[in-house]
A and B are shown apart, each in its own frame.
Chain A
Amino acid sequence: MPADLPTTTDTVKSTPMSITDTKRTLPPRAGLGLKPQHYDAILSSEPDVGFFEVHAENYMGAGGPPHRYLEAITARYPLSLHGVGLSIGADRPLDRAHLARLKQLVERYRPASFSEHLAWSTHDTGFLNDLLPLPYTPETLARVAAHVDETQQALGRRMLLENPSTYILFAESTIDEIDFLDAVAGRTGCGLLLDVNNVMVSAVNHRLDPFAYIDRFPAERVGEIHLAGYDETTDEAGDRLLIDAHGTPVKTDVIELYRHALSRTGPVATLIEWDNDVPDFATLKAEADRAEAMITAEAARRNATQTRAA
């Protein structure tokens, strides 16, 4: 049994997970979202991709082809399990049935990483199928930390929490987003998933400096980076409004921001997210290759710096 799984599955441990979870981490390479239309291409050609990431909810059926393909993929590649439905930021208890489904998936596929969002998606009327924003206050901080803690205890492993892309701000927010994420990580031992496209989207939408955001982000907590393409429109006042769209190549300004992020985090697993208007596999692979070249360049830069220092 791997070291980071509790030996008794039903016992809730009261101590936070260890921050260093070296036995179960993604390789510092570029990865791709796994899309059903690419299953056969991947299995027949076994391309050199650092890891694959799936949305956990797409693999919560009882059986069928999704599980057969995922088993075949995970026999060949590290897996990142990325949840989009836990609603960690909601003002209600976590869905225990959903946690149980996540636990089943974690036990079946032993992913190298599990991540979820600083967002909410479930309300009285049901699941809203979007990642919705929350105010940052001492009250919401306590709630999110409790939900992250409950998730980690239920899954028996550390998780990564992703920074959101947002289009509005809440007047009642009193805590800066980075301080909020850092505090959740500090209280629960969770890691952070740094979505560099989300940083660009939120920074433009809220008149912040995206490079300053990266500079303040706790780099030592970052277990994975996400990259994606945004869309652009304007709001009622004519201000630029970026939309987190996941339907195009990563934009040039996000690539530059990613280079800056890598200089702070060092080489780290980086996912290309392309979920809408999904292109052929070769196009996705080219996006991954570009990110991987940047990871390699950062590793070389660090080696050169160390050599000079020595």
Chain B
Amino acid sequence: MGTATLDLFAAALTDPRSPLPAGLTTARGDADAARFAVYRNNVHVGLTNALAQRFPVTEQLVGAEFFRGMARIYAQDHKPASPLMFEYGDDFPDFIAGFVPAAGLAYLPDVARVEAAWSRAYHAADAIALPVTTLAALAPEGLAGTRLPRHPSASLVASPYPVGSIWAAHQTEPVGAVAASRPEIVLVVRPDAVVNVHVLPAADAAFAAAVLAGQTLGEAAGQALDANAEFDFGAALVGLVTLGAFAATERG
């Protein structure tokens, strides 16, 4: 028994077009589609609710009905990889990027990326952020070869759209106005108890991406200068450290 029964049950559960699985009954002695539909509905509602909880700004941008429809299609082919539901939807932004009905909102995938990064930062390992004083104590001649460890909660979202401003405007009720229209690079980080979403200066984008990817400060500065001759190494580095983008090393 057993194995086949649960296989059939699971297959019918996740395919809305499939007929009732064999072997089900009721106290009356007949199978009942309305009863099986409760399980089917529980699975879909549970998964779409989990996505709505993790992507509230994305939901506001498209409206609840559109979001439910989009989430339902995603959930059809993307079941959670584990029972850790706060991880569900890590690739939902990629799905949105390929979801044709949402193509009119070109910034939507990147807003969803900010939200995915927000919950990853919320649940990330705790670590003390590198203090600015530690940075000041580093010998200048060794600085270029230094690699600073990324804070476990820190990640970047680089977008051709003002996604940090859009995200921030949706943190108030009513939704605020979005003044920006330029590309934005966003740092999502939780140096202590609170997750912060920062829009970084555009000139720092290449530097931040390189240094958080583990390159030395010298390599990262070189790339930033190639991208923008106005790049200010000191301001960029102190800025990232002040926001808590790096973890303290063993010596503090």
Task: A98 to B87: give the CA distance in the assembly, Å.
Answer: 14
- On whether A132 and B26 interact (CB within 8 A), knowing A63-B126, A121-B83, A126-B80, the answer reads no
Residues of A38-69 at the interface with B, using a CB-CB cut-off of 8 Å, are 57-58, 60-68
The yes or no answer to B125 lying at the interface (CB within 8 A) is yes
The yes or no answer to A100 lying at the interface (CB within 8 A) is no
The yes or no answer to A285 lying at the interface (CB within 8 A) is no
A302–chain B nearest beta-carbon distance, Å: 36
- Contacts between chains A and B (CB distance < 8 A), count: 155
- The answer on a CB contact under 8 Å between B24 and A64 is no
- On whether A123 and B10 interact (CB within 8 A), knowing A57-B83, A167-B35, the answer reads yes
B4–chain A nearest beta-carbon distance, Å: 9
Chain B residues in 8 Å Cβ range of A85: 82-84
- The answer on a CB contact under 8 Å between A168 and B124 is no
Chain B residues in 8 Å Cβ range of A208: 27
- The answer on a CB contact under 8 Å between B46 and A64 is no
Task: A68 to B193: give the CA distance in the assembly, Å.
Answer: 9
Residues of A104-138 at the interface with B, using a CB-CB cut-off of 8 Å, are 120-130, 132, 134-135, 137
Task: A239 to B30: give the CA distance in the assembly, Å.
Answer: 12
- The answer on a CB contact under 8 Å between A57 and B79 is no
The yes or no answer to A84 lying at the interface (CB within 8 A) is yes
Pick from B9, B83, B86: contact of A127, CB below 8 A: B83
Task: A27 to B47: give the CA distance in the assembly, Å.
Answer: 35
- The answer on a CB contact under 8 Å between B43 and A130 is yes
Task: A59 to B42: give the CA distance in the assembly, Å.
Answer: 22
- The answer on a CB contact under 8 Å between A172 and B32 is no
- The answer on a CB contact under 8 Å between A206 and B83 is no
- The answer on a CB contact under 8 Å between B25 and A169 is yes
- On whether A172 and B124 interact (CB within 8 A), knowing A57-B84, A91-B6, the answer reads no
- The answer on a CB contact under 8 Å between B39 and A139 is no
Residues of A126-174 at the interface with B, using a CB-CB cut-off of 8 Å, are 126-130, 132, 134-135, 137, 139-140, 143, 167-172
The yes or no answer to B229 lying at the interface (CB within 8 A) is no
- The answer on a CB contact under 8 Å between A124 and B10 is yes
The yes or no answer to B13 lying at the interface (CB within 8 A) is yes
The yes or no answer to B162 lying at the interface (CB within 8 A) is no
The yes or no answer to B1 lying at the interface (CB within 8 A) is yes
Chain B residues in 8 Å Cβ range of A239: 26, 28
Task: A188 to B135: give the CA distance in the assembly, Å.
Answer: 57
- The answer on a CB contact under 8 Å between B24 and A63 is no
Chain A residues in 8 Å Cβ range of B33: 236
Task: A78 to B229: give the CA distance in the assembly, Å.
Answer: 60
The yes or no answer to A309 lying at the interface (CB within 8 A) is no
A140–chain B nearest beta-carbon distance, Å: 5
| Closest A-B pairs by Cβ, 7 of them | A85-B83, A61-B123, A126-B79, A63-B126, A62-B125, A123-B10, A207-B27
- Chain A residues within 8 Å of B, Cβ to Cβ: 57-58, 60-68, 84-87, 90-91, 95, 97-98, 120-130, 132, 134-135, 137, 139-140, 143, 167-172, 205-208, 233-237, 239, 241, 243
